């Protein structure tokens, strides 16, 4: 460690004290008698424990726990217990202090939370072979105390804010996990401000060019936006003052992440996204008048500006499952521009930004119950652990981010389900047994199949039969994690029951052939049929896939089963994934694509068709060698966050002589000779070979896709620039896969 000069240390001491005072300031509103002393005690212990430690940036380590505690107090609105735990969150792991010491110094509650934080601190450790399994452990601690996750989110947010001092591969891994898990978690807990920042920072490190481009464009249009918002607000402000409603009106640009999402999913260029910002009207309103006041404001806004009827969202009458309440409408503002308007009260705004943690201020039992309900569902899913932790994680994540619909039971009880939920999801939401026996449903008194997708407001009556049992294809009909896990459990149970029958049948056959029914002999037989386990052998015997007549070709020699053609050869075990990773990685940490690789088999992944110049990584697969993916590939975030240990850094060498396939999508106005002009540019001007071309026209517009061979990204960009200049062409974008 570099030696610090005395002046440096003095300056650092002052800085530490300054940050500590700022933390106390942030805690002010929740401090009760004796709290200051507790925070001071935690701070002193943390300061002493981390005194010789430094972060990657070279700063004293203590800056990190202070920052995490500050986020807990200031941005999430948590109280003293959380601040104490945030200050101490790394102490047990990094120093000699034990949990018992914490228990003695502070109490049981603090020890429990720090224990939870310590358990999950290594959740996404580089050496961990399956991060999903550890994530499940992390969620188990959530069911103990939600503060564990809130502090963990604050910890992650500070790490993301200080990510620039890390190496590129570490940045990629941490940012991908953040987008994959932490942002959805913040969203589900209603921490809107944190979710948005995590997403933006995630994009900044996974796709820096895209992030910078959107940021620059937003900056360029800032003064224009401010003028527009002022013009929009003037008449509304006047009326609100007249009727005596206190309101704060602000214009907020959409997050860079959500703008990029729109560009990707809707396929529209930045210039054409009309809702780059939203206008938020926040009113001071007493609890009993909140709803009527918000609708009054809506009425005033729509007196001046035409609303788009299909863009009205009423989250006040039916709040989202994460507690979000607001009235959203899109209106035609000045200059013929559509603009989104969000209307909410001060209480709703605080809850939207700080989520459930803001409840110390608004003790609202309805929302408290929703949080308890969510945690109960998580606990239920976790108590039925599946063999494949990754599947669990994907199901769980689907439910984290899903938009919601509201459906009703025949008695009028409301159920909140993710969008695309089916009648079968609804049945499992009522009760596991109702789901397992479900044969169909009546939606709004009409008979529908199990796979029927529900819409908000549907009234659902579930039809059941005692003869019904879950089927394999049910897994295609459901979207909720709860229903998936229950169906998988039931199928597993059914398979186990059938296997038991198969076991008895096999035992009878063994006795008949005078072969000992031992574990060794059963495994030998399973090996012979190339089956992974004895249970699979029993199951196949029971369902008739393995004909017991074949067993007459076996006999027993010295207690061991043998085939009449000779003993059963043991199949050689395939190398484990860990061995494969070690072998493939070898000594080099960087895969150079295009060089004469020492027999390393690599393929360019079809899901994102990388070409030289793209930012890429190598992913070690089980059967297909290494696959090269683009960093912004649709599957990259999941691969980087779940299988970091199977990722190899990769870069391109000069590829002048090799051509790569790339897809281009073109849209525009259908004009005479347009296709001919496009193909002329492709074949004549740049000497590019086309593999396929297809165009569809529809009422004067056209959409086409062209597959071409190019050398690298520069070559492709050059071609796309020229195509954009063709008269009648509106957009030219690169397609993810061919």
Q: Say which residue the tokens 């990584």 belong to.
A: 617
User: Annotated catalytic residue: which of 15, 59, 74, 94?
Assistant: 94
Cα 173 to Cα 251: distance, rounded to the nearest angstrom: 34
Burial of 377 (0-12, 13-18, 19+ CB in 10 A): middle
559 closest CA partner among 512, 524, 526, 516: 516
Active site residue 94: yes
Report the sign of the C-alpha dihedral through residues 579, 584, 587, 590, in that order.
negative
Q: Say which residue the tokens 């002048």 belong to.
A: 656
Helix, strand, coil in percent for the chain, rounding step 5: 55, 20, 30
- The gap from C-alpha 627 to its chain's centroid, in whole angstroms, comes to 23
Cα 727 to Cα 677: distance, rounded to the nearest angstrom: 9
729 closest CA partner among 665, 663, 666, 664: 666
Cα 619 to Cα 603: distance, rounded to the nearest angstrom: 10
Compute the chain's Rg from CA coordinates: 31
Contact 362, 349 (CB under 8 A): no
Cα 52 to Cα 428: distance, rounded to the nearest angstrom: 54
User: Annotated catalytic residue: which of 44, 48, 93, 373?
Assistant: 93
Cα 381 to Cα 576: distance, rounded to the nearest angstrom: 29
Strands 602-604 and 689-698: unpaired
Coil, helix or strand at residue 623: coil
Burial of 100 (0-12, 13-18, 19+ CB in 10 A): exposed
Contact 608, 631 (CB under 8 A): no
Contact 695, 704 (CB under 8 A): yes
Cα torsion for 511, 513, 518, 520, to the nearest 10°?
Answer: -170
Cα 198 to Cα 207: distance, rounded to the nearest angstrom: 14
What DSSP assignment string belongs to 434-446?
Answer: HHHTEEEEEETTE
Strands 647-652 and 590-593: parallel
Cα 524 to Cα 546: distance, rounded to the nearest angstrom: 15
Contact 111, 83 (CB under 8 A): no
Which residues, listed in sequence order, are joined to residue 416 by a DSSP beta bridge? 406
259 closest CA partner among 243, 244, 275: 275
Cα 45 to Cα 54: distance, rounded to the nearest angstrom: 16
In the sheet that holds 566-567, the strands lie side by side as 554-557, 560-563, 566-567
Active site residue 493: no
Cα 242 to Cα 335: distance, rounded to the nearest angstrom: 26
Contact 650, 616 (CB under 8 A): yes
Cα 712 to Cα 579: distance, rounded to the nearest angstrom: 34
Report the sign of the C-alpha dihedral through residues 43, 46, 52, 56, in that order.
negative
Q: Say which residue the tokens 């004895």 belong to.
A: 534
Largest CA distance in the chain: 101
The runs of H, that is alpha helices, within 402-480 are 423-430, 432-436
450 closest CA partner among 425, 431, 472, 469: 425
Count of all residues that appear for the chain in the document: 738
What number of other Cβ atoms are within 10 A of residue 564's Cβ?
8
Give the active site residues.
93-94
């Amino acid at each position: 460690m570099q030696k610090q000069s005395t002046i440096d240390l003095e300056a650092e001491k002052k800085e530490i004290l300054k940050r500590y005072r700022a933390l106390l300031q942030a805690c002010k509103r929740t401090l009760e008698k004796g709290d200051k002393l507790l925070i001071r005690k935690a701070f002193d212990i943390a300061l002493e424990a981390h005194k010789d430690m430094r972060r990657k940036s070279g700063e004293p380590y203590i800056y990190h726990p202070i920052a995490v505690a500050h986020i807990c107090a200031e941005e999430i609105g948590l109280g003293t217990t959380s601040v104490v735990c945030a200050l101490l969150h790394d102490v047990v792991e990094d120093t000699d202090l034990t949990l018992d010491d914490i228990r003695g110094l502070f109490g049981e509650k603090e020890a429990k939370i720090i224990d939870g934080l310590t358990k999950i601190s290594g959740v996404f450790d580089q050496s961990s072979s399956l991060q999903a399994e550890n994530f499940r452990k992390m969620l188990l601690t959530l069911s103990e105390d939600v503060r564990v996750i809130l502090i963990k989110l604050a910890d992650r947010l500070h790490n993301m804010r200080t990510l620039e001092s890390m190496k590129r591969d570490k940045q990629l891994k941490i940012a991908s996990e953040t987008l994959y898990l932490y942002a959805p978690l913040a969203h589900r807990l209603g921490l809107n401000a944190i979710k948005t920042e995590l997403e933006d920072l995630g994009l900044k490190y996974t796709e820096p060019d895209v992030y910078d481009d959107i940021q620059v464009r937003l900056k360029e249009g800032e003064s224009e936006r401010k003028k527009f918002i002022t013009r929009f607000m003037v008449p509304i402000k006047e009326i609100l003052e007249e009727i005596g409603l206190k309101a704060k009106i602000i214009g907020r640009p959409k997050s860079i992440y959500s703008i990029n999402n729109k560009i990707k999913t809707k396929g529209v260029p930045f210039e054409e996204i009309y809702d780059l910002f939203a206008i938020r009207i926040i009113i001071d309103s007493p609890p009993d008048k909140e709803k009527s006041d918000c609708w009054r404001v809506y009425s005033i806004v729509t007196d001046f500006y035409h609303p788009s009827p299909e863009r009205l969202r009423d989250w006040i009458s039916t709040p989202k499952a994460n507690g979000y309440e607001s009235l959203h409408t899109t209106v035609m503002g000045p200059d013929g521009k559509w603009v989104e308007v969000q209307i909410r009260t001060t209480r709703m705004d605080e809850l939207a930004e700080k989520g459930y943690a803001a409840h110390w201020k608004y003790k609202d039992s309805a929302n408290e119950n929703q949080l308890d309900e969510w945690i109960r569902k998580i606990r239920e899913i976790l108590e039925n652990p599946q063999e494949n932790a990754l599947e669990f994680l994907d199901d769980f994540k689907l439910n984290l981010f899903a938009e919601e619909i509201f459906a009703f039971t025949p008695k009028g009880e409301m159920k909140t389900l993710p969008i695309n939920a089916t009648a079968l999801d609804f049945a499992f939401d009522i009760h596991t047994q109702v789901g397992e026996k479900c044969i169909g449903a009546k939606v709004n008194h009409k008979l529908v199949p199990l796979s029927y997708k529900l819409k908000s407001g549907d009234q659902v009556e579930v039809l059941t039969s005692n003869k019904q049992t879950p089927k394999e294809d049910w897994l295609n009909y459901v979207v909720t994690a709860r229903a998936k896990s229950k169906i998988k459990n039931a199928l597993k149970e059914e398979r186990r029951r059938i296997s038991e029958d198969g076991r008895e049948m096999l035992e009878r056959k063994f006795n008949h052939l005078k072969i000992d029914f031992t574990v060794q002999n059963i495994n030998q037989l399973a090996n012979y049929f190339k089956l992974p386990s004895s249970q699979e052998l029993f199951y196949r015997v029971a369902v008739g896939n393995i004909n017991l007549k074949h067993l007459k070709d076996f006999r027993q020699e010295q207690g061991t089963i043998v085939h009449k053609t000779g003993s059963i050869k043991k199949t050689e075990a395939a190398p484990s994934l860990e061995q494969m990773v070690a072998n493939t990685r070898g000594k080099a940490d960087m895969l150079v694509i295009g060089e004469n690789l020492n027999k390393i088999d690599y393929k360019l992944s079809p899901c994102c068709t990388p070409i030289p110049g793209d930012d890429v990584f190598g992913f070690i697969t089980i059967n297909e060698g290494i696959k090269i993916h683009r960093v912004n590939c649709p599957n990259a975030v999941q691969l980087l966050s779940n299988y970091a240990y199977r990722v190899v850094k990769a870069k391109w060498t000069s590829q002048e002589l090799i051509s790569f396939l790339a897809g281009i999508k073109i849209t525009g106005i259908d004009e005479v000779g347009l296709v001919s002009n496009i193909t002329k540019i492709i074949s004549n001007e740049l000497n590019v070979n086309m593999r396929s071309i297809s165009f569809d026209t529809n009422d004067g517009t056209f959409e086409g896709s062209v597959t071409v061979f190019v050398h690298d990204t520069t070559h492709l960009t050059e071609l796309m620039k020229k195509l954009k200049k063709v008269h009648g062409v509106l957009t030219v974008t690169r397609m993810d896969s061919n």
